[in-house]
Amino acid sequence: MARMTMIEAIRDAMDVKMTQDKRVVVFGEDVGYFGGVFRCTQGLQAKHGKERCFDAPINEGGIVGAAIGMATYGLRPCVEIQFADYVFPAYDQITQEAARMRFRSNGDFTCPLVIRMPTGGGIFGGQCHSQSPEACFTHVAGLKVVIPSNPYDAKGLLISAIEDDDPVIFLEPKRLYNGPFDGHHERKIVPWSQHEFGEVPEGHYNVPLGKAVVRRPGADVTVLAYGTMVHVALAAAQETGIDAEVIDIRTLLPLDLETIEASVAKTGRCVIVHEATQTSGFGAELMAVVQEACFYHLEAPMIRVAGYDAPYPYAQEWAYFPGPDRVGRALREVMEG
């Protein structure tokens, strides 16, 4: 079994699909000759040719607009927005066009499109390289929103996303590109090569969209997390000794209701963790879903641990980034209730 970082896993996913399916094309800023600012598309242009992997002008509306035209033609574009923070010029094309193409044409035109973007903080990126905009997309019917927490899932989910006939927003936690990160910034970084989920099979495999996974079974409390927060939650459970069941949601829309409801019905307590700002964050939706299905099972009020409602700061990175101590405090508090 090969060992890969998340970057290599993502590149491998695109390479496998471009080799398998001539309709798959990749473009975006600096993704062609240079291979992407995070090297996610390195070597694809050399291997698959300039007509299927090329650079695009700095014009996100154009990148997504052109990609929609290609998708309705019959290709399967997988475009890159250099940073999730730069997606907003393309927000009109994504939400008013891609998300609605199948519905408004009643199936006459469809939009099999993947939009990849590095997301989340933990790298001193300040307000323009650290945002987590998932809630802007989970509110839009017609989109799918996916966020992997490790290389194995990253490759399997990206392959499934490219093969999916609906538009998929694919958020890649840049903090996890090179290794798992549990919030202990003071400790040495462990590369993916020394982590169980760094093992990534060669060739084609799928991790299905719409399915969450229990990272750590537990009886006392359910922790709903995604992206980097999965590793932070695991650390918090380990450090507090609380028997928490950590669920990696992976696909935010459509949400895996069965897995979440079954877990909270079992544990009766729930902590929700995400980097994005708290107000109207995706955690609010998770809380609503759990409340509707598990109200009579809940022993204590649910708690959200999320980014403070402020633009992402620069120097105060580690005071802002939800770490294992904040999550640990939330776990203790929810156990007291």
Partner 1 sequence: MTQPGRPRLRVPEPPARPGQSPRFDHIPMSPAGAVGCPPIDVDPADTKPFAYQLIRILDDAGKAVGPWADYLGNVDADVLRRGLRDMMKTRFLDKRMLLAHRQGKTTNYAASTGEEAITCGFQRMLSPGDMNFPTYRQQGLLVASGYPLEKFMGLQFGNDLDPVEGKNLPPMISARDYGYFTISGNLATQYVQSVGWAMASAISGDDKVAAGWIGDGAAAEGDFHSALLYASVYRPPAVLNLINNQWAISSFVGIAGGHVPLACRAHGYGLASIRVDGNDFLAVMAAAKWAIARARQGHGAILIEWVTYRAAAHSTSDDPTVYRPKEEAAAWPLGDPIERLKQHLVAIGEWSDERHAQAQGEVEEEILGLQKLAESHGTMIGGGSAPLSAIFEKVYKDMPEHIRRQRQKAGI
Give me the active site residues, please.
129
165-204 positions binding partner 1, by CB under 8 A = 165-166
Nearer to partner 1, 96 or 193 (CB): 96
- 120 makes contact with partner 1 (CB under 8 A): no
Binding mask 122-151 for partner 1 (x = CB under 8 A): -------------------xx-x-------
254-313 positions binding partner 1, by CB under 8 A = 254-255, 257-258
Contact 144, 253 (CB under 8 A): yes
How far from each other are the two terminal CA atoms of the chain, in whole angstroms?
45
Angle (CA) 260-210-64 rounded to 5° is 130
Beta-bridge partners for 173: 119
Q: Taking the complex as a whole, how short is the minimal distance between the CB of residue 288 and partner 1, in angstroms?
A: 11
Q: Taking the complex as a whole, how short is the minimal distance between the CB of residue 117 and partner 1, in angstroms?
A: 18
- 212 makes contact with partner 1 (CB under 8 A): no
| Near partner 1 by CB under 8 A: residue from 3, 20, 30, 89 | 89
Q: Taking the complex as a whole, how short is the minimal distance between the CB of residue 61 and partner 1, in angstroms?
A: 5
Could you tell me how many residues of this chain bind partner 1 (CB under 8 A)? 45
Contact 125, 131 (CB under 8 A): no
Binding mask 11-50 for partner 1 (x = CB under 8 A): --------------x-------------------------
Stretch that binds partner 1, among 51-59, 116-124, 129-137, 149-157 (CB under 8 A): 51-59
| Near partner 1 by CB under 8 A: residue from 84, 87, 101, 235 | 101
Phi-psi group of 202: left, alpha or beta (phi > 0 → left; psi -120 to 50 → alpha; rest → beta): beta
Q: Taking the complex as a whole, how short is the minimal distance between the CB of residue 141 and partner 1, in angstroms?
A: 5
Q: List, as own/partner pairs, every contact residues 321-326 make where C-beta atoms lie below 8 angstroms and the sequence separation is at least 24, other chains included.
A: 321/121, 321/122, 321/183, 321/185, 321/275, 322/183, 322/229, 322/232, 322/273, 322/274, 322/275, 323/183, 323/184, 323/232, 324/182, 324/183, 324/184, 324/232, 324/235, 324/236, 324/239, 325/236
- 69 makes contact with partner 1 (CB under 8 A): yes
- Helical residues (DSSP H) of the chain, grouped into ranges: 6-20, 44-48, 60-73, 91-92, 101-104, 134-138, 151-163, 228-240, 257-267, 282-294, 317-320, 324-336
314: tokens are: 């620069």
| Near partner 1 by CB under 8 A: residue from 37, 39, 86, 110 | 110
Cα torsion 211, 213, 219, 224 to 10°: value is: -80
| Near partner 1 by CB under 8 A: residue from 21, 33, 46, 103 | 103
Residues that bind partner 1 (CB under 8 A): 25, 51-52, 56-57, 59, 61-62, 65-70, 72-75, 89, 92-93, 96-97, 100-110, 141-142, 144, 164-166, 210, 254-255, 257-258
